[in-house]
Amino acid sequence: MDYLAGKHGEFASCTAPVKKLFKQAGVTDATVAHVEYVGFDKIRTGNARVTENMAVKREDVATHVLGMFAKAKGTFRMNLLECVSPLYWVQLILFLPVKLCGYLGVDETKAIPKLLQVLYWGSAPLLLIFRTQLYEAVLQLLQQAQ
């Protein structure tokens, strides 16, 4: 807002970090129509990506950029509130394999994340039941290795 009001001189140097924040927030890029006179009664038309033209003070570009900032702010606020929510952590623990696959870029609707989830649900209770026996077995293996 300070840049648009003329109070801050250089915004172009901030565009790379802003693009990164928009990407982290999952804010999709928008396009605006661009029309310019090229001479000889001819015009050139096209679409311009908003993230590539953030420093342009055109009203339509600035409106899109401000909307993108509002979306990113809302996303980061929601992420912050989720971090302190007990329900978020319970869901994360229950669906850990699917969440890890999503984090690694594997589509969560595919068969592999679902298979890992079923294996996790089947093995986690067994690991909890037999944890003392597993602990003792690991200790014995470590003692034998020494």
pLDDT of residue 4: 67
Q: Print pLDDT tens along the chain (146 aa).
A: 666 666 666 777 777 888 888 888 988 888 888 788 888 888 888 888 888 877 777 788 888 888 888 999 999 999 899 888 899 899 888 999 998 988 888 888 888 889 999 999 988 888 888 888 888 888 999 898 87
Q: For residue 8, count other CB atoms closer than 10 A to its CB.
A: 11
pLDDT of residue 37: 86
pLDDT of residue 8: 66
d(CA 10, CA 115): 51
Specify the residue for token string 């029309």: 35
Report which residue type is found at 104: L
Specify the residue for token string 């067994």: 126
